[in-house]
Structure 1
C-alpha cells in the first residue's frame, strides 16, 4: 500500500498537518532560556522518513515549518533553525537505519542523530544568534550549553517516542 502515490501524498499531507498542530505544544525545557521550547513535531517527519524515505520526511518538515510560520510564528529565522535541526536529526537516523533495517541500527541512528543535531545546532547558533539578536559572540557563548542540552533532550525524547511507535505505524502502510 505504501507504494501508491495517492496514499503517499495523502499521508505526507496528514503528517504535515499533524506535525504543524504539534508545534503549538511548546514546553520550555530550561525556564531560564525560555526561547528554547520543546515540541514533539519532529516525530512525524521522522516517521515519514522511515515509511517513505528521507526526502518525504524532509518534505513533511518543510510543510510543517511553512504552515507554522504562516499560522503563528512569523519568525523566519526561528523556522529556518527548526528546519535545520529537523533535517540534521532525520538524515543520520534514516540513512543509518537503512544500512541494516533492524532495531540495533535504528538505535545507533537515533544516537548519531542526537549527536549530530546537537553539534550542528550549537555551531549554527554561534553563527546566527549574534547577527539575529545583535549581541556579541561572547554573550552568545553563555547560551551554548543550554542550546546543546536542549537539542540533546528534545531529540532524545523524539527518538524514544518514535522508537516506541514506529513499527506499529509502519504496519498500517504495509
Structure 2
C-alpha cells in the first residue's frame, strides 16, 4: 500500500470517527457524564485491518479533532484516548494472527483491559479533576465498571459484525480502493 493511500485511509477513518463521536448518549442516566459514542469502532476496524499503530493514530486524530471542535475538556479527551488504547491495543495485537477465536479472545481481553484500566485511572484523576474525595470515586466505581464494560462490548459486537464485511474493501492488498 502506498503512503498516499495509507494517509487517505487514516484521514477518512479519523474524520468518520470524529463525526460519529457526536452521536453520544449516557448508558446510565444517573451518571450522564459517562457517554457512549461509537467512534472507537472506526479505530478498532482500522487496527484489525492494518495495524494496532494505525488504529491508535485514528483514535488520536479523532480525539484531537473532538477536543478542538467540541469538547475543550483536555482531561476528558485524554481519558477517552487512554480508554480507547486500552481496548484497541490488546484486541488488535491478539487478533493479528487472525481467526474468529482469536478475534473473540481479543475483544474479551480488550474489554477487560479498558474496564480495569479506567477504574484505576478514574481513581487517580477524578479526585484531582473534580476535587472530590476518593470515597466519592468509590461510589462511582460500579457505574464506571458497568459503563466501560458495556461501551467496549458494544464496540466489539459491532466490529465483529462489520469487520469481515468491509475487510475485503480496506485490506492493504486490495488495489480496488
- Does the alignment reach a TM-score above 0.5? yes
1:36-115 matches, within 5 Å, as 36-98=34-96, 100-115=97-112
**Which segments of structure 1 move beyond 2 Å, counting only runs of 4 or more?**
none
**Aligned match of 2:162:** 165
Are the equivalent residues in 2 in contact too, given 1:46–1:162 (CA < 8 A)?
Answer: yes
Bigger drift between 4-13 and 156-165 goes to 4-13
CA distance in 1, matches of 2:58, 2:166: 16
CA distance in 2, matches of 1:49, 1:7: 16
Q: RMSD value over aligned CA atoms?
A: 0.7
| Partner residue of 1:141 out of 128, 138, 141 | 138
CA distance in 1, matches of 2:163, 2:14: 17
**Aligned match of 1:18:** 16
Q: Any stretches of 5+ residues in structure 2 without a counterpart?
A: none
Q: Any stretches of 5+ residues in structure 1 without a counterpart?
A: none
CA distance in 2, matches of 1:143, 1:18: 31
What is the CA deviation profile of residues 130-165 of structure 1, one whole-angstrom value per residue up to 9, with x for unaligned ones? 000000001111101100110000000000000000
What is the CA deviation profile of residues 67-119 of structure 1, one whole-angstrom value per residue up to 9, with x for unaligned ones? 00001000000000000000000011011111x31001000000110011000
CA distance in 1, matches of 2:145, 2:84: 14
Are the equivalent residues in 2 in contact too, given 1:96–1:109 (CA < 8 A)?
Answer: yes
DSSP 3-state at the match of 2:39? helix
| Partner residue of 1:7 out of 5, 8, 18 | 5
CA distance in 2, matches of 1:50, 1:5: 18
Give the count of matched residue pairs: 171
Q: TM-score, normalized by length of structure 1?
A: 0.96
Bigger drift between 161-170 and 77-86 goes to 161-170
Task: Report deviation, 1:4.
Answer: 2.2
Q: TM-score, normalized by length of structure 2?
A: 0.95
